[in-house]
Structure 1
Amino acid sequence: MTFLGKLWSFFSTTWTYFWATLTAFPFLGFPLAYFLVYLWKKDRRLAGRWAVNITNFLLIRAVVVAYSVIWPEALSAWWWITGFFLAAIGLIGWVQIRLKGKLSLLKASFSVWRLSFLLFGLVYVVLYTTGIFKTMGDV
């Protein structure tokens, strides 16, 4: 194998382990994203927002993987997540129309995105503990 082949193999393996670690422990992405964005922009508030958004993506990915590991024959978790986002945006949009008389889809989407951080954090913890107990029961 050539030097470039070995170098590519090293970086590919390292990148795979990095993503696997962030999938298993998505909350590690928060300080990592915060630190990198703060070094880049020198703005704590912006770094916090970016860290929450990136961690939310990592949480969604971790929930999908944990769900598919615990219940491999079940309906894909992507369908549940898509359904959640559509239903939540519809509900918040309906509340906006009832209260203000007009719909701001952008505000409704951002609200659901921020709420999903809390929801997927909770679902991640529940699925993680469910997976531990299921694995312990199989042993």
Structure 2
Amino acid sequence: MAMWTTFWSYFWGTLTVVPFLGFPLVYLIVYMVKRNKRLAGRWAVNITNFLVIRSAVSAYELIWPEAMSAWWWVSCFFLVTIVLLGWFQVKLKGKLSLKKVGFSAWRLSFLWFGLVYIVLFTTGIIKTMDVV
């Protein structure tokens, strides 16, 4: 039992440090089960998005432990993005589709939090090098 606990803690730790490793893992698993490349790609992007958000939050809390929780920043990002995308959609098309707005916000979060993760990761490395 202790071996499995150790394995899972190392596995999740690795995916927290390198969240983009989740993409090929999820893609291969879903493709082997479903034999559908498009579905496997969608699942891989969605799961990797969760991993990237979690990694960015972990890096933020590791760099600035006394700062406000990073989950507030994540929530604010989604709220502001959904409101802005909804406003643009109403201006352009005259109607609001929450499904499309939510999907677009989710995809934009992949790009945004991927960039935030890379910046925080390099900031953490530089901050750690200053201490040593």
The TM-score bracket by the shorter chain reads over 0.9
Instruction: Give the letter for the 2:24 counterpart.
Output: P
Q: Select 1:10's aligned residue among 3, 6, 19.
A: 3
What's the counterpart of residue 5 of structure 1? none
What's the counterpart of residue 45 of structure 2? 52
Name the SS for the 1:102 alignment partner.
Answer: coil
Q: Which of structure 1's runs of 4+ aligned residues deviate more than 6 A?
A: none
What displacement does 1:36 show? Answer: 0.3
Query: Aligned Cα RMSD in Å?
Result: 0.6
Instruction: Give the letter for the 1:123 counterpart.
Output: V
Instruction: Give the letter for the 2:95 counterpart.
Output: K
User: What is the CA–CA distance in structure 2 between the aligned matches of 1:105 and 1:74, rounded to whole Å?
Assistant: 33
Matches within 5 A, 1:111-126: 111-126=104-119
User: What is the CA–CA distance in structure 2 between the aligned matches of 1:124 and 1:40, rounded to whole Å?
Assistant: 30
Report how many aligned residue pairs link the two structures: 132
What's the counterpart of residue 130 of structure 1? 123
Q: Select 2:29's aligned residue among 17, 33, 36.
A: 36
User: What is the CA–CA distance in structure 2 between the aligned matches of 1:41 and 1:115, rounded to whole Å?
Assistant: 27
**Which blocks of at least 5 consecutive residues in structure 2 are unaligned?**
none
Normalization by structure 2: what TM-score? 0.98
What's the counterpart of residue 80 of structure 1? 73
User: What is the CA–CA distance in structure 1 between the aligned matches of 2:112 and 2:6, rounded to whole Å?
Assistant: 32
**Which blocks of at least 5 consecutive residues in structure 1 are unaligned?**
1-7
Name the SS for the 1:18 alignment partner.
Answer: helix
Normalization by structure 1: what TM-score? 0.93
- Identity of paired residues, percent? 66
